[in-house]
Amino acid sequence: LKMKFLEWAPVMTISALKGQRVDRLLPLALRANEARNRRVPTSQLNTFLERVMASGRAPTSVTPVKGGQSRLHVQYMTQSSVRPPTFIVFTAGGRPGLHFSFERFLQNRIREEFDFFATPLRLIERHRKDRRK
């Protein structure tokens, strides 16, 4: 069974009747809870964001947005809350509205870099029309 919206969630088969792998469940739940409460400093997020945008795997000059492509500039990112971890991505120029594929790309990179195991991540875009800070 494949669920695109839950690709980050681990799947474990257990049997309470036979007691198979039940002892592995609590450590996974504790690790997921730790990730759900993790806070990443803004400085680390922005260093990460610069590295990701410069890697060539992320679009830099033309960014996918809803309804096509745009010269959207991703300025910086900060974490606004935990439970679930919520990140605000500040953008400028172009049309607002990060494309779902770009959002998923960022979520996957954040998940890998900061070990957000088995927890949903939220991305919120804050857009300003001009590129001035």
pLDDT at 132: 59
Residue 1: pLDDT band by 50, 70, 90 thresholds?
A: low
Tens digits of residue pLDDT in 2-50: 677 777 888 888 898 998 999 998 999 999 999 999 999 999 999 999 9
More confident residue, 131 or 44: 44
Look at domain 4-128 and name its CATH class.
alpha beta
Confirm if 12 and 28 have CB atoms less than 8 A apart. yes
Per-residue pLDDT of 81-124, as tens digits, reads 999 999 999 988 777 788 788 888 899 999 999 999 999 999 99
Burial of 125 by CB count in 10 Å (0-12 exposed, 13-18 middle, 19+ buried)? middle
Distances (CA, A) of 57 to 67, 70, 110: 21, 17, 14
Q: What are phi and psi of 102, to 5 degrees?
A: -70, -40
Q: 0.75 exceeded by the pTM? A: yes
pLDDT on residue 9:
83
Going by the DSSP 8-state scheme, the letter that residue 40 receives in this structure is: -
pLDDT for 61 equals 46
8 A C-beta contact, residue 123 and residue 14: no
> Does 120 sit behind a cis peptide bond, omega within 30 degrees of 0 on the bond before it?
no
